[in-house]
Amino acid sequence: MNTAPTPAPAAATEPRWLSPGEQLVWRSYIEAATLLEDHLDRQLQRDAGMPHMYYGLLVKLGESPRRRLRMTELARHAKITRSRLSHAIARLEKNGWVRREDCPSDKRGQFAVLTDEGYAVLARTAPGHVAAVRQAVFDRLTPQQQESLGEIMRIVAEGLQPATAGADLPWLR
């Protein structure tokens, strides 16, 4: 009987390392995304006492019919977990900017509703936020670069949101 250990399988194929050009693009993206998020967070904290993510929630509610959305839909739009959304909505409720309402057709469901006070904060904050976005992004790009950036980001986002059942997406967790 042979008791010699079985040799380890051949090493898996080498990873497809990023080329120097790809590495430069990737690091530029990470740097820009990090700096942009910080820039927008600081502007919104200064002008409205809220982080960028909370502003995005108020915007989505403000654009929705009757300024309300089911919590699960709001999590999907914000690309965040339901737990993170629940925490954010609790903070916005504390400020009086959002309220929750039970869903009459689904006892487990809830709506997030933008209050009049929340809408006023959004209306007051939007001009400064748009100016910050314009200054940081759009004023630096040509119309063709803006179009390319939009197309690239749509492709990346679509690739990260498979429509298949069981996809591991934040709002499904």
Examine the pLDDT at 168 and tell me if it is beyond 90.
no
Top pLDDT among 6 and 116 is at 116
User: Please, which pLDDT band fits residue 11 given cuts at 50, 70 and 90?
Assistant: low
Top pLDDT among 60 and 108 is at 60
Examine the pLDDT at 5 and tell me if it is beyond 70.
no
In sign, the C-alpha dihedral spanning 84, 137, 117, 45 is positive
Work out the angle between the directed axes of helices 52-63 and 82-94 (0-180°, nearest 10): 90
Three state DSSP letters for 75-111: HHHHCCCHHHHHHHHHHHHHCCCEEEEEECCEEEEEE
- How far apart CA 27 and CA 145 sit, in angstroms, is 19
- Which tokens in the block code for residue 9? 């399988």
Strands 98-103 and 68-70: unpaired
User: Please, which pLDDT band fits residue 169 given cuts at 50, 70 and 90?
Assistant: confident
- Which tokens in the block code for residue 130? 């748009």
Examine the pLDDT at 3 and tell me if it is beyond 70.
no
- How far apart CA 58 and CA 121 sit, in angstroms, is 9
For residue range 63-86, what is the model confidence (pLDDT) as tens digits?
999 999 999 999 999 999 999 999
Three state DSSP letters for 139-172: HHCCHHHHHHHHHHHHHHHHHCCCCCCCCCCHHH
Query: What percent of the chain is predicted at pLDDT more than 70?
Result: 94
Q: How many residues does the chain have?
A: 173
For residue range 100-147, what is the model confidence (pLDDT) as tens digits?
999 888 878 899 999 999 999 999 999 999 999 999 999 999 999 999
- At 85, the amino acid letter reads L
Nearest to 137 by CA among 122, 150, 155: 150
Q: What pLDDT, on a 0 to 100 scale, did the predictor assign at position 163?
A: 77
Top pLDDT among 166 and 141 is at 141
- How far apart CA 173 and CA 157 sit, in angstroms, is 18
Average pLDDT over residues 59-63: 97
Residue 55 neighbours by CB under 8 Å, 6+ apart: 44, 48, 122, 125, 129
